[in-house]
Each structure stands twice: as C-alpha cells, then as structure tokens.
A and B are shown apart, each in its own frame.
Chain A
Amino acid sequence: MATLVLAEHDNQTLRAATLNTVSAAARIGGDIHVLVAGSNAAAVAQAAARVAGVARVLVADAPHLDAQLAENVAALVKELAPNYSHVFAPATSAGKNVLPRVAALLDVAQISDIVAVDSADTFVRPIYAGNALATVKSVDPIKVVTVRTTAFEAAAAEGGSAAVEAVATGTDAGQSSLVGREITRSARPELGAAKIIVSGGRGLGSGENYRALLEPLADKLDAALGASRAAVDAGYVPNDYQVGQTGKIVAPQLYVAIGISGAIQHLAGMKDSRVIVAINKDPEAPIFQVADYGLVGDLFEVVPELAGALG
C-alpha cells in the first residue's frame, strides 16, 4: 500500500499545499511517493525529496507538462495510479481541476476536500458548505482524494532524503494550450492561505471606505483582504474577495469581520477560523454568535484606532 501525492508547484518552487497533503497521506500509513509533473522542474523535485516522510519522488518532465493542463496531467497520473492504493492532491484550484479527471479515467469515485482520515478507506469531508460533516467509506480499489489543506499540519519541508527518479511523461493530448496567466501581484497573502484575514461588509458603505479603513489594518497584520457577499454585490470589491458559501472557504488563525452582519452564507465560509473578531455597531448582528471577541461600536472610529494600536 502506497500513496501517490500530486505536487503543487509552478516549475520553480514546491507550494506549501503539498506539505499539508503529505501529512494527510501519512495518516494512511503506507509509503508516500510525490509526483512532480512539469517542465524544467528539477528544483521542485529536489525540494520534494527533502520533505519529511516522502520515500520517493517521481519526475515527469516534458514541455507538454509545462502548463500542467488537466488533459495531460490526468493521463499521466492515470498510468501511474494502478501502482498505488491512494492518490492524493491538495484541494487547490490545480488539484480540483486535475483529480476528478483522474478518478473518472480510473472509474473510481473521488473523495473531495477531506478534513480527516478515519482509516485507509474512510474519510471525513464537509458538505453543505461545512454545515455538516460526512464520514464516507470508499469501496473502490484506488482512493482518489483531495485534501483541505487547512485541516492538516504541514509536513516538515526539510529532513527527508527521498530517491528521485524520472518516469515516462506520456504525450501531448493536443486538446488545450495555455494562452497566458495574470497572477495577482499583491504584497498581501492570498485569501485561501492567509494566517490573518481582514474582511469587510456592507457596513463600510463604499469601496472607498473599504480601502481607506481596511487596507491600513491589513498592512499592520500582514493580512489578506476579504469581503461578504453583500459588499461584493454592492460593488465595493471584486468577486474574488468573497468569503462564503459560494465564494472562498477560509480557516485562518484570525478572522476580523468588520461591518459584516453574518448572513448564513458568509458564516459558512469562515466559521472554521481559529479566532473570530467581529466589529459591528449592531449588538444583535448574528456575526456575534460565532465571534470569540465582539466589539460593538462605530467601525469608522474603531478600525483606525485598532490599526493605530497595532503600531
């Protein structure tokens, strides 16, 4: 019994999500092999070989794997999968894109976004945007699983010394090609991976107020910026800021909800945060029911004061 972990990377660096996925794979108990599918990705393979707990690193290095298009990567993983009892990937946009395709090619179910490993065939996963936790048992010969990275500690990035070996790369399916990427160049951490999130709602009144009040606070905390659906619908910020049932699901160490009333769909996206702070002028706002620390007050006074106090 061995687990194949699909590495998350950009051909240069191994992304941290891989480390959380290795930890999840370690709960299965067998050997852990990491697959690096990419182009000129030797540095990634070396990094993967140093991750604690990894026994072997498989490298598929070819130009047609450069953009990690789903058609090519899934075909590659499908060829390797019969050697494994489990195939794991982080539930990132890359993992969620590729792994269901692998599962269908293998004619097995995928278990999405697991938050716990009960046994080698039984996993816990959130459903209904985290309002329920389902324990599911797979009857398939190969378990294809994506991992909610916030639910597992990161494996140590150093300390391992896995063997690195090249594997057959397959061929280009020729069905898709990368045109370009616009990666948001922000000094702020990404919403999905941030340790601290400062999030704003309709109470801020406008996009100008959102930026004027929340950006200085986020700068002080090295935080990502988020928003409620109400704030997005009102046009204060773009949709990709949205935290909630149909937006991003987050679980940072600290979530600061400012001027957010706490509608069901918003709470569903952030209630697994370790510590929640709510700042709202309405003492009856539902957000206070999930907040560890609630401050009833005028956010236009409180937020600048908070940013100042963190000097």
Chain B
Amino acid sequence: MKILVPVKRVIDYNVKARVKADGSGVDLANVKMSMNPFDEIAVEEAVRLKEAGVATEVVAVSCGVAACQETLRTAMAIGADRGILVETDVELQPLAVAKLLKAVADREAPALVILGKQAIDDDANQTGQMLAALKGWPQATFASKVALADEGGQPRATVTREIDGGLETIAISLPAVVTTDLRLNEPRYATLPNIMKAKKKPLDTVKPAELGVDVAPRLATLKVAEPPARSAGVRVADVAQLVDKLKNEAKVL
C-alpha cells in the first residue's frame, strides 16, 4: 500500500510572525522556515505504518517555491522514500493545493493520503477535506489514532478523531484522506545518518501546468494588519487586591 504525505514549508513555530509595514503581508525574509508541525506528525504516522509492514511506500509531496525541497528532504530524513515537488512561485491557496494534490494522487494512486489538519501560517484547515471532496474519497479529519485493516479484500481504516469535547471513532473505506491532530504521535528527530541518506533519495519536480491545474487565487488579500495590541496591565500587590480588581474594575467575577 502506498501512502502520500503532503508537507508544507511554513514559518518555524517558534518564530513570531511580523506584519510588513506596508500591510501587504507577513515578513518572511530571513525568517527560519520549517515543516508544518502537523505535517511532521503525518510523515511520522506514514513511516510508522511502513515500519509496521502495513505500507510499502511513503511518498512526500510539497507544493510551492523551490525551497520546499528542504521540507521534502526533512520528510525523507524521517523516513519517506521519495519526494515530489510541485514547483511554483504563485501564492497557493488551499483549493489550488487540493487540486494539485488531486492531480498527483491521480498519478500515484495511493491508498491513503495523510496530511496535517492545518498549516500554522494561513491556519485554513481546508486542504485535506478539499482533496477528499475532489477525489470523491471519504475523510477522517483531526485524527488521534489510525488503524488499518483488510476485511475480506476490503481495506478500511478505523480512525479516532478529536472533536470538541471528546473523541469520535469512525470507519472509512480506502482510498481515503486522513488529517492529523497533535495527539496522533510524537515525531522522531531525524538522525544525522538519516539526513545524509535523505539527500540521495529521489526527488522529482513538476509544474502546475504539467498537471493541468489552474492555481489562480480565489481570494484577494486586501490588507494584513497587526491585531490590536494589549495595553500594559498593572501589578497587584496581593490576592485581596486581585479579587477586588476582578470584581469591581474588570467585572468578570
């Protein structure tokens, strides 16, 4: 069974995003970039399925600028077998990414696509669901546990999902799309030998036009602004003063 793992290159989660002075976006010049943390969990899950003998091949795919190759190398250092870069300098929105991934999935015919539930830059939480819709496949979003089984030649996945207030377990037929939540696993650190090995793994590059996908944005960003800053608060001397402020000044008690 082949697993396709889409990975996104995003601002490192430890870096505070700063809005450009002209309000056109967020300043990403000279900012540390990393793999989207939720996608790292997706790669780990796919690699574990391969190590367990359930999956036969793990293919990482990334859509974006040439530097996304680094993200694919990271995925391969964790254990993905090869990488596909869909290279474009155009700003990609989730629907466009889902269409590109659909085209890649049409070629690769994976039984499972595992990807992060959302990227920590645009916080859209859309791509997995959109890909499932475009392929006509079932989806299991926000997964905290994935179990694969073959029931009389019918491959199925049983997925536990994190929902508001608890957990939900669903069974889906394969092929399918699974999106990862934080508790699915703890990604391993790539070891130096594996980082070196990843440099030799195959990495193919295709262009959106070769896949026949129109990636034109559907949303125009009119402006990007800093959120209203919180004014500095006050120090209280003791618990009595804190309770008094909360009751009589803030009126939240």
Asked if A and B are interacting partners, one says yes
Give me 18 other A-B pairs in contact (C-beta within 8 A), A128-B11, A131-B16, A264-B15 excluded. A102-B133, A104-B131, A104-B133, A107-B95, A108-B218, A109-B94, A110-B124, A112-B126, A127-B224, A131-B17, A135-B223, A140-B218, A180-B169, A238-B183, A292-B234, A293-B234, A295-B239, A295-B242
| B95 neighbours in A (Cβ, 8 Å) | 103-104, 107-110
How far is it, in angstroms, between the C-alpha of A70 and the C-alpha of B37 when the chains are bound? 25
B173 CB, min distance to chain A CBs, angstroms: 5
Q: Give chain B's interface residues, CB within 8 Å of chain A.
A: 11, 13-19, 26, 37-38, 93-95, 98, 120-134, 137-142, 158, 161-173, 176, 182-183, 218-227, 230, 232-236, 238-240, 242-243, 245-246, 250, 252-253
Chain B residues with CB below 8 A from A238, complex form: 183
Q: How far is the CA of A145 from the CA of B66 in the complex (A)?
A: 32
**A246 on interface, CB distance cutoff 8 Å:** yes
- A-chain residues with CB within 8 Å of residue B132 when the two chains form the complex: 70, 101
Q: Is the beta-carbon distance between B125 and A96 smaller than 8 angstroms?
A: yes
Chain B residues near A111 (CB, 8 Å)?
219
Of A98, A173, A292, the most chain B CB neighbours within 10 A belong to A292
- Give the CA-CA distance A271 to B228 in the complex, in Å: 10
> Would you give 23 A-B contacts (Cβ < 8 Å), ordered by A?
A70-B129, A96-B125, A96-B141, A100-B124, A126-B227, A127-B224, A128-B26, A128-B120, A131-B18, A132-B227, A133-B225, A135-B224, A135-B225, A174-B173, A175-B176, A181-B169, A239-B182, A240-B183, A272-B227, A291-B233, A292-B230, A294-B235, A310-B253
Residues in B with CB closer than 8 Å to A221 are 253
- Which residue on chain B has the smallest CB distance to residue A232? B182
A-B contact count (CB 8 A): 248
Taking the complex as formed, is A113 at the interface, i.e. its CB lies under 8 A from any CB of chain B?
yes
Q: DSSP class of A's interface residues: helix, strand, loop or mixed?
A: mixed
Taking the complex as formed, is A179 at the interface, i.e. its CB lies under 8 A from any CB of chain B?
Answer: yes
Range class of the A interface residue count:
35 or more
Say yes or no: A129-B120 contact (C-beta < 8 A), given A183-B166, A306-B239: yes
By a CB distance below 8 angstroms, the chain B residues around A181 are 163, 166-169
